[in-house]
Amino acid sequence: MVARILLSSSLIFSTLLTANPKSELAVQARLYHDGKLILGPYPLTISRPSTNDPRRLTSRGNLQLGSNLLPGDYVFQIVVTDLADKQKPRVASQWIDFEIVK
């Protein structure tokens, strides 16, 4: 059996800065097949910046794809919500499509 692991890495920039030293970001991964959500929202972790710019953060994660996933087209989506502005949270998302073959 072949292990199917989806690795993701994202750079999050222009986050709002508040008095709270921790980021106020919610990062989620989602997996779709034929337009239907089949996995998620799956929370991803945020690492503290390794640079002097606290507005640039990285998010990394891995997702073990089950062997029961059918061959076909899939969409992997990352959604980031900046919760620092309680009145109007900012949301950004990116996606990539891929295919599972038998």
Domains and CATH numbers, the chain: 4-100 (2.60.40)
- Hey, which residues does 93 pair with through a beta bridge? 79
pLDDT for position 47: 55
For residue 89, give every residue at least 6 positions away whose Cβ sits within 8 Å of its Cβ, in sequence order, or none.
81, 82, 83
Could you tell me the pTM of the whole model? 0.73
In 3-state terms, what secondary structure has residue 93? strand
What span, in angstroms and rounded, lies between the C-alpha atoms of 52 and 65?
36
Q: List average pLDDT for each run of 10 residues in the chain, which is 102 residues long.
A: 70 65 76 92 66 68 80 92 81 91 83
User: Are 29 and 50 spatial neighbours (Cβ–Cβ below 8 Å)?
Assistant: no
pLDDT for position 90: 84
